[in-house]
Amino acid sequence: MSAEFELIDRITRDLSVGDDVMLSVGDDAAVLRFSGDTVVTTDLLIENVHFKRQWSSARAVGRKAVAVNVSDVEAMGARPSSVVVALAFPKDLDQEWVAEFEDGVKEECATAGVSLVGGDLSSASAIAICVTAIGDLEGRRPITRGGAKAGEVVAVKGNLGWSAAGLTVLQRGFGSPKDMVAEHLTPSVPYGQGIVASDAGATAMLDISDGLLADLGHLCERSGVGIDVDTSLLEIPDGVSRVAAATGKNPLGFVIAGGEDHALAATFRNEAVVPKGWRVVGTVNDSGAVTVDGEPWEGSAGWDHFA
């Protein structure tokens, strides 16, 4: 048996899949049976761009690769079903790294309730991962970025600022606050909350990956609205405060302009319909811009891979 097929065999030996998986790995393609429209999204994770091996265990990278993709399926208000995972790595990479990466993939799949149904392996000069996540709208309409209207409220579910605070700590060579660092290495996606928001009547929704303000900007652009974030409604987590104090930064900056949060932001007709556990953080207006307490935000606004 060749090295490639041996590795595939090792990865796929003990896979369990959901009821909607008619055919899993081992054929030219997987087959899924959905009751509604199909949702599909893809994301790359590149070594030294999206993760560093000295910071992240292989398991954490595997978990993150699945999490950030499934988060986009959640953001459509769909039920995440499955992922396919493509991995390219140097020939001299420790095989144990690959095995642990795949363990992380499977672990996050279990947490997210999705099935690993396919993938690809290749050699490469550096590690490159591409995950595609598929979801089932189950008869629901998709919640796009385009449905928000002036007069509505904006609410968030998930951890804001934790990932950016964790990254700041790692960049300075430290490993704590541990909860902030852990959140950067593997975001804790609010699984299941996309459907909760949809069923509560969310008018628009998206995954916060570029930072709250930057992503609300995308929502405003598509919806033709403005949003004012009320900072008195935001929570500054203790870990964020500590990182901000240690680095002389504004803690608010982490929360509203961080990045890689993979929380969900959604708009709702009014506060009464916002689901339990979601935090109202602002209101929708017709200004066409994102403001913070009524003013433009002067700090950094988000993440650009080519800046």
| Contacts to a second copy by CB under 8 A | 2-5, 7, 22-23, 26-34, 37-44, 46, 48-50, 72-73, 75-76, 78, 82, 84-86, 88, 91, 117-126, 128, 130, 132-135, 137, 142, 144-146, 205-207, 222, 304-307
Measured from the CB atom, is 40 or 110 closer to a second copy?
Answer: 40
Nearer CB in complex with a second copy: 6/271: 6
- Please check if 27 is assigned to a binding site: no
Is 41 marked as binding a ligand? yes
Which residues contact residue 135 at a Cβ distance below 8 angstroms, ignoring those fewer than 6 apart?
38, 39, 40, 73, 76, 78, 79, 80, 81
- Give the closest residue to 238 by CA, choosing from 165, 156, 155: 165
Give the number of other CB atoms < 10 A from CB of residue 163: 28
Q: CB of 239 within 8 A of CB of 162?
A: yes
Structure tokens at 203: 């008018």
Instruction: Specify the residue, 80 or 237, whose C-beta has the smaller distance to a second copy.
Output: 80
Q: Which is nearer to a second copy, 20 or 108 (CB)?
A: 20
Least distance between a second copy and beta carbon 305 (Å): 5
**8 A C-beta contact, residue 74 and residue 190:** yes
Judge whether 288 and 224 are in contact, CB under 8 Å: yes
222 assigned binding-site residue: no
Please state the closest distance from residue 244 (CB atom) to a second copy, in A. Answer: 25
Best CA proximity match to 200, nearest among 264, 113, 112: 264
CA distances to 57, 63, 93, 275 from 123, in Å: 20, 21, 10, 46
End-to-end CA distance of the chain, in Å? 45
Nearest distance from C-beta of residue 7 to a second copy, angstroms: 8
CB of 272 to a second copy, least distance (A): 26
Asked whether residue 14 is marked as a ligand-binding residue, the answer is no
> Toward a second copy, which CB reaches closer, 76 or 229?
76
Do the annotations mark residue 38 as ligand-binding? no
* Sign of the alpha-carbon torsion through 258, 260, 262, 268: positive
199 is in an annotated binding site: no
Question: How is residue 186 written in tokens?
Answer: 């593997």
Q: How far is the CB of 246 from a second copy (least distance, A)?
A: 29
Q: How far is the CB of 176 from a second copy (least distance, A)?
A: 29
Binding residues for ATP: 119-120, 145, 209
Binding residues: 28, 41-43, 50, 72, 119-120, 145, 207, 209-210, 260, 303
Binding residues for Mg(2+): 28, 41-43, 72, 120, 207, 210
